[in-house]
Every structure is written in structure tokens, then in C-alpha cells.
Amino acid sequence: MSRSYELLEHTADVGILARGETCEEAFEAAAEGLAEILGAWFPGEGEERELRIEAADVDALLAAWLDELLYLAEAADAVFGDFHVDRVGQRELSGRARLAPRAGRELDGQHVKAATYHRLRVAEGEGGCEARVYLDV
């Protein structure tokens, strides 16, 4: 199984159901889903930035990962070119995001305020890892 994601419909939010052979791949797929929702997905562009995220548990780690990416996009007025998660632990994540200046590009996406804890779930099983998160739009 390679990493993948699908967008989920919700009344006031938008969801991402991400899958991967590992939780690292599922978190990467969730990040790609977020970038698509923002209209800020430009594969291969930009420079890598090292990231280290801490949270209370692996579910909260998914929300914190996406919130950190939202912060970076907003603070740096940037778009995303790639994501690589080196390690997902029980309370911390280490990885990289490739960022490029938005450079006046009109982004065809939705504004996302934050990841929510509504139905937030990361589950590992025989078929790999599945991560579900809803975003406040």
C-alpha cells in the first residue's frame, strides 16, 4: 500500500482520511491533502525546512502537525512542494516540509483555520496506518 488520501465531506468542516503503509506515510498523505485543500500544492518547489512537533498522544500529534504546516504557510506566505515524515512516535514527530514563496500566485483553495479534534483518529493495523482529521474552514 502506498500513501494516499481522500477528502471527507462534513457540514462545516472538511476532512482528510489518509492512509499509508506506515504512520509516517499516512501523516505525509494528510499533509498533501491539506495542501490540496489550501490550493497550495506545488510538488518539487521550494526549500526544505526541518520540523519537530510534540503533542500529548499520536492523535493530537496529527492535529499539531497540520496546524504547524498551516502556521508555516500563513507566516511565510508560502506554498508546499513536498513533505517527508522521518518518525512518528507516541508524543513526537520529526520531519521536513518543502516551502516556496507564494510569489503573488492566486491560490484556488479554501482557507483553513485549524485542525480539529472532532473524530480525530490515528490507527495502525495489519493493512498499514490510517489517519482521520477534520479541518475548520
Which domains are assigned to the chain?
4-136 (3.55.10.10)
The pTM assigned to this predicted structure is 0.91
Instruction: Give the pLDDT band of residue 6 (cuts 50, 70, 90).
Output: confident
Q: How far apart are CA 107 and CA 64, in angstroms?
A: 23
Q: How far apart are CA 27 and CA 1, in angstroms?
A: 14
Instruction: Give the pLDDT band of residue 11 (cuts 50, 70, 90).
Output: low
Contact between residue 122 and residue 63 where contact means Cβ atoms under 8 Å apart: no
Contact between residue 37 and residue 67 where contact means Cβ atoms under 8 Å apart: no
- Helix-strand-coil percent breakdown of the chain, rounded to 5? 25, 45, 30
